[in-house]
Chain A
Amino acid sequence: MTTDQTDEELCRRVGEKDMRAFDLLVDRHQARAVRMATSILGNEADGRDASQEAFIRLFQSAHRFDGRSRFSTWFYRILVNLCIDQQRRNRWWNKVVPLAGPGTDNDDEPGIDLPADEPGPEAEVIRNQSARRLRQALKDLSPSQRAAVMLQVQEDLSSREIAEILKCSENTARVHLHRGITRLVKTLKEDS
């Protein structure tokens, strides 16, 4: 087996329980999967778990991949739906138990600012604060809005591809995107 095989070919082999093909697919998609899940779920541990669960589902259902859509669309549908489901399940819990640890907002933090390009400790501090603000702003979005925004920003997917992953119409995907980004902009403006 060669590493230049397409994702779709590798997925067909995974359907035949080929562990080498599975390892190659994991190797190719692990970074993006973890980043996507972490962005949607809002913390690293959950993102790690969700992405691993998505790979397990991929292994179990690869034989059902019919090749009509791209592998990445099929796989991200699994991943994003897992994240959205988990987010909905945990919503009531997050209201009762506020998130703690790194990334938690403090009320006295300064508002978000575009990260400075020049290096230095001050710029680093501002960049970290901006990142925290942005993560919090993302958390305020609905799971579908967050998924739509992340799929566009991280995966550079079109509205049609996002619609395919979220199992909705293209117009609905555009509405999710518009509302998500508008809300992000509003939160960032309020903070600054």
Chain B
Amino acid sequence: MLIKIVWKNIWAKKLNSFLCILLMMFGISIISLLINIGNQMQDKFSKNISGIDMVVGAKGSPLQLILSGVYQIDAPTGNIPMSELQSLQTNPLVKQVLPLSMGDNYQGFRIVGTTYPYLKHFEADYAVGVVFKNNMEVVLGATVARKLNLKLNESFASSHGFEKEGEAHGDKKYKVVGILKSNNSVIDNLILCDLKSIWEIHEHEEEHANETPEKHTEHANEATEEDFDITCALVKFRSPMGLMTIPRLINQNTKMQAALPAIEINRLFELMGIGIDAFKALALAIMLISGISVFVTLYNALKERKYEMALMLSMGGKRTKLFFILMFEGLFLSLSGYILGVLLSRIGLWIASRMLDQNFNFDLQQSMLQKEEIYLLIAALLVGIFAAVIPSLGIYRINISKTLAND
């Protein structure tokens, strides 16, 4: 009966209740969506960054270098000669250098030339097949294999650039020798091959195209690795000493630039953080308005229902019981707003995931209730309680005989 009274009272004020729930729903869903996207981005970004202390590449924007080199989402800054890495590789402070060479794609997925340690760095595990051993052999990331429906031993021709519509390298075909298990890192979205495969393709390319004479001569005398260009290299240091000295050395003494992922990503998050904070403030304001709307609804209800309340009191209703009837009304509104809000945020997440996936090959997982969302639940309930408590306390001030006597 108590539930029935609460429900009937809410139903009797459909529009008011709807407004309260709607406001709460939007507030909650915006915050929850931001929390989810923020958490997953941070998770993905920091997972891919782990272990990489420095990225070297052509001069340009350091953030761009990090985004293109580590996350494979921006265009590369340019090329650097492999020979420049030599001194780095022999430096005692450097633990490992992972060279990367990009510039081609297949159906929008980047083909990255690298060496075996790059796969090992991301702890790549094979679903089927083995690592590339010969030229023109590739290993597919899990997402690539799933989306393009490529199987072992199938072959494909790459195209130039990072857009699907790039000019095709028709004469040389890649062969799939391995497919990786998904591990939620950047390699899920990559097609990996040996550095030499990339060089081989572009060498032919240049011969055919017969570009500028100088460039041609540069590649004219075949052979040693040092003559080739790569896009960038990921560097791990043996000790923090490396971090202190090497980036400066590179930036001052070579044509390359060194960028530190930790710093650049912090900068990126700081930039995004302003936007996210603004959204959060907006969402909190919406929640607060919802609280006020619950308050006004209940407050007016109490005024209108003063007679009802006095009547129920005269019929043996206890003030505590009536107090809880009003409290439950407030709580029901904020709680259902919360539940709908979380549901809406999941739908939003799904839509955002579809959009990001189409444009950036970056997808978001549908997640369970995040820790922050539990706090959000508590916040929503507090809003409900605070909005309901003042009108509800009015129950204790009702003078039955006076109210009903209609003085």
- Co-complex (A, B): no
A residues with a Cβ closer than 8 A to B are none
